[in-house]
């Protein structure tokens, strides 16, 4: 299991990007959340099987509206399985 925090910039604010991210997370069977940040970026915390998390990171880079991943932080603690699904906050 892997857990990461991703910061994405570009045309990512609003429901369209977050809703599409939620659909992709469901397809990849990863858990976590995504939320808008005041600086215009979005933050996503994702946990799941390493290959699925890595695919979700790739999706965030090339997802709708020409997004750009600014930073990926691997969270050192083990996934807590605290998320029931991938939610929009």
Could you read off the pLDDT of 18-73 as tens digits, one per residue?
A: 888 899 999 999 999 988 899 988 899 999 999 999 999 998 887 666 678 888 88
State how many domains the chain has. Answer: 1
For the record, the structure tokens of 20 come out as 């599409």
Closest of 51, 45, 29, 52 to residue 77, by C-alpha: 45
**Domain contains 34:** yes
Q: The dihedral of CA 3, 46, 58, 8: what is its sign?
A: negative
Evaluate whether residue 23 is within a structural domain: yes
Domain interval for residue 68 = 2-78
| CA 56 vs CA 26, 28, 80: distances in Å | 10, 7, 19
Instruction: Classify residue 85: in a domain, yes or no.
Output: no
Half-sphere exposure of 33 (CA within 13 A, CB side): 10
User: Any idea which residues carry the catalytic annotation?
Assistant: 18, 36
Supply 62's token pair.
């090339």
């Amino acid at each position: 299991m892997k857990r990461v925090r991703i910061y994405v910039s570009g045309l990512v604010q609003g429901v369209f990007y977050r809703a599409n991210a939620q659909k992709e997370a469901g397809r990849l069977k990863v858990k976590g959340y995504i939320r808008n940040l005041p600086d215009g970026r979005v933050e996503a915390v994702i946990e799941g099987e390493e290959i699925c998390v890595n695919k979700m990171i790739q999706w965030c880079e090339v997802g709708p509206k020409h997004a750009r991943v600014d930073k990926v932080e691997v969270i050192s603690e083990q996934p807590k399985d605290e998320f029931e699904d991938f939610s929009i906050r």
